[in-house]
Structure 1
Amino acid sequence: MSIQQNLEHILSRIRAAELRAGRPAGSVRLVAVSKTFPAEDVKACHDAGQRIFGENKVQEGLAKIPSLPPDTEWHLIGPLQRNKVRKALEYFTLIHAVDSLRLARFMDTVAQETGKRPRILLEVNVGNEDSKFGFFPETLEKEWPELSSLNHLEIAGLMCIPPRWKIRRRRGPISAVSGS
């Protein structure tokens, strides 16, 4: 299947899901994860109509961003280290994994210094799993007043990490079971 055909197939499935859910057509946006793919493949996907790409690492994104047209929207979907914040704020439209108040405070300071107002998602570890990053729900609730007062960040929403789900087949319907 070509990149164009694959993109059309995925978008048709998204449109069908929007319809089933009673959502307006076009209300769901696809973020194509471009990590590990060379810039030429990402460009081919852009040429097929995709405009939003997600990179896991700042450095990998910086190597691709100049290769694509300016109408490309870049999301940082992986963890962000403090030493990469300046570059991330400069090149990424949305940062998906702000996982601590400490990181948010630092980003707010850098945003003030650089005149940026980055859009961010707060990463929430809804399963309270020690092996995953993010705010535990009770920590987020406690720290929300300070997070929401950071004037140079736009908190666009939450990026939640649920526990891993296992599918068990039984006689009859399929059941989903939480577990790691």
Structure 2
Amino acid sequence: MSIATTLSHFHQELAGTNCRLVAVSKTHPVELIREAYEAGQRLFGENRVQELAAKQPELPADIEWHLIGHLQTNKVKYIAPFVHTIQSIDSLKLLLEIERQAARHNRVVNGLLQFHIGQEATKTGLDFAEAETLLETLRQQPLPHVRLTGVMGVATNTDDEAQLRQEFRELRGYFEQLRQRFFADDAGFREISMGMSSDYHLAIEEGSTLIRVGSAIFGSRPYPV
């Protein structure tokens, strides 16, 4: 099945929902990203800063790039000139560096707070108390060049639908609590990024607004990551 056909299928599935598709292009060549772009896709996600920074100049300027992988503070500078959304914000230190680098380029960068909702210890992310502390700090120290627009989480790699639903509901609950307490007057705080190729149907049912899909669009990765 061609990339265009697959994308058409996804957009038909998402019609009538509040959910958008992030085409995760990590490890895939620029040619395949361009093929997806020509089929109408504009929202792409990459996991690694170096790969994103290398691909971005070779592709159309109107692509909405999301960094979805773990981000080290010393690498923010490489994507600050163009990244639309950083989905993996997991510390105040990282937020402050995004603010500093975005200000250098006179830009506002969107960000999602990443929560640790899966069972794997290797997954990164905030717990709810850490997020509350971070947002209380921002009340005293607003960051004009960073706009927090929602939350993100990576569910456990499992076939257990009950567990996946529980994790997605947990993230949705975090979103609702934070919106009520910290973003009640901010209509821009509206994103819940959850769900990937294997579990996006469940994520949509549980309220996802951004699904991150790679292999179901581009096929298996051409080399290990």
Q: TM-score, normalised by structure 2?
A: 0.65
Give the one of 151, 154, 172 matched to 2:144: 151
- Give the C-alpha shift of residue 61 in structure 1: 1.2
Point out where structure 2 has 5 or more consecutive residues left out of the alignment.
Answer: 167-225
Contact 2:89/2:113 (<8 A) preserved: yes
Q: Distance in 2 between matches of 1:92 and 1:161?
A: 21
Stretches of 4+ moved more than 6 A in 1?
Answer: none
1:121 aligns to what SS in structure 2?
strand
Contact 1:125/1:136 (<8 A) preserved: yes
Superimposed CA distance per residue, residues 128-157 of structure 1 (whole angstroms, 9 cap, x where no aligned partner): 864321111111112211135233211111
Contact 1:121/1:158 (<8 A) preserved: yes
Point out where structure 1 has 5 or more consecutive residues left out of the alignment.
Answer: 168-174
- Give the C-alpha shift of residue 55 in structure 1: 0.7
In structure 2, give the amino acid aligned to 1:61: L
Match of 1:81 in 2: 72
Match of 1:12 in 2: 12
Match of 2:98 in 1: 107
- Give the C-alpha shift of residue 115 in structure 1: 2.2
Match of 2:22 in 1: 31
In structure 2, give the amino acid aligned to 1:30: L
In structure 2, give the amino acid aligned to 1:156: T
Q: Distance in 2 between matches of 1:5 and 1:127?
A: 32
Match of 1:97 in 2: 88
Structure 1 residue 176 and structure 2 residue 169: aligned?
Answer: no
Q: TM-score, normalised by structure 1?
A: 0.80
Match of 1:171 in 2: none
Superimposed CA distance per residue, residues 59-84 of structure 1 (whole angstroms, 9 cap, x where no aligned partner): 11122212222221111111111111
Q: Distance in 2 between matches of 1:43 and 1:164?
A: 29
Q: Distance in 2 between matches of 1:177 and 1:121?
A: 23
Q: Distance in 1 between matches of 2:155 and 2:58?
A: 35
Structure 1 residue 50 and structure 2 residue 41: aligned?
Answer: yes
Match of 1:172 in 2: none
In structure 2, give the amino acid aligned to 1:6: T
1:112–1:70 distance in 2 versus 1, CA, 3 Å: closer
Contact 2:91/2:134 (<8 A) preserved: no
Report the number of matched residues.
163
Match of 1:160 in 2: 153
1:57–1:29 distance in 2 versus 1, CA, 3 Å: same
Superimposed CA distance per residue, residues 42-97 of structure 1 (whole angstroms, 9 cap, x where no aligned partner): 00110111111101111111222122222211111111111111122112111100
1:70–1:110 distance in 2 versus 1, CA, 3 Å: closer
In structure 2, give the amino acid aligned to 1:176: A
Rg: which structure is higher?
A: 1
In structure 2, give the amino acid aligned to 1:161: V
Superimposed CA distance per residue, residues 85-141 of structure 1 (whole angstroms, 9 cap, x where no aligned partner): 112211211110011111112222233333222111111114586432111111111
Q: Distance in 2 between matches of 1:164 and 1:138?
A: 24
Report matched runs for 1:120-139 at 5 Å.
120-126=111-117, 130-139=121-130
